[in-house]
Amino acid sequence: MFKTFFNWSTGKDSAIALYYLQNNNELSVDHLLTTMNSYHNRVSMHGLRRELLIKQIESIGLPYSTVELPEQPSMNQHNKLMRKEVNELKKQGFTDCGFGDIFLEDLRHYREQQLKDIKCHFPLWQKNTKALYLEFLNLGFKAIVICVNGELLNPSFVGRELDYKFLQELPNNVDPCGENGEFHTFCYDGPIFSHPIEFELGEKVLRQYNKPNGEINDKIDYWFLDLKDKTAHNNGHKC
């Protein structure tokens, strides 16, 4: 079996992709890799607190490492730090890696170019996203929306559970899996976990980001939900 690490981003696509790879008899998934914003101490993709990432990984039961990025990394910094971590994994005998991408050709090409000496696996590639969403639910996974693009979804979608009603109420221009960045999720239960991850809902936060190739003052609104580790809160620790 080929020693494989998986690029874990904490959401629904990562969860079901990892599930697929763990059921691939040719691969042995022995490590999770997550990109962090070390300045904010959160997952770089959607701002999940580090302590909830660790709770997830403990429930999955795999070793892990993180790529620690500065507050506003350049693409060159990102690539350099990622390459450093991948080289460490190669020294440990890893030959393959996995991703949860579904149909973004340019992103897949970028990943394969950056990992030329590692074989990349995309178990969700070209799958129908509505069917994949339904399979996610039918397998017993559970996830909550923690980030939405405010141009496409209103703030009421933040904090909602992924269920059949959520799918029915998505606008026609939003992919069922949010593959174009319309929304991001935190997966907290399902067949890859030994136990559910306990969390509490925090505040909703609006942040604005510059549009790619837009004018100087051309901004996009993103709404985030700050989740907190319920177990730490109950023990009197600050989140």
Domain boundaries, the chain: 2-121, 129-234
The backbone torsions φ and ψ at residue 10, rounded to the nearest 5 degrees and listed phi first, read 85, -5
| pLDDT tens-digit profile, the chain (239 residues) | 999 999 999 999 999 999 999 999 999 999 999 999 999 999 998 999 999 999 999 999 999 999 999 998 999 999 999 999 999 999 999 999 999 999 999 999 999 999 989 999 999 999 999 999 999 999 999 999 999 999 999 999 999 999 999 999 999 999 999 999 999 999 999 999 999 999 999 999 999 888 776 566 688 999 999 999 998 755 544 43
Q: Could you tell me the pTM of the whole model?
A: 0.94
Q: Which fold has domain 2-121?
A: Rossmann fold (3.40.50)
C-alpha 9/C-alpha 53 separation (Å) is 9
- Of 45, 58, 51, give the one whose Cα is nearest residue 200: 51
Q: Say if residues 39 and 147 touch (Cβ distance below 8 Å).
A: no
d(CA 146, CA 199): 12
Q: What are phi and psi of 51, to 5 degrees?
A: -65, -30
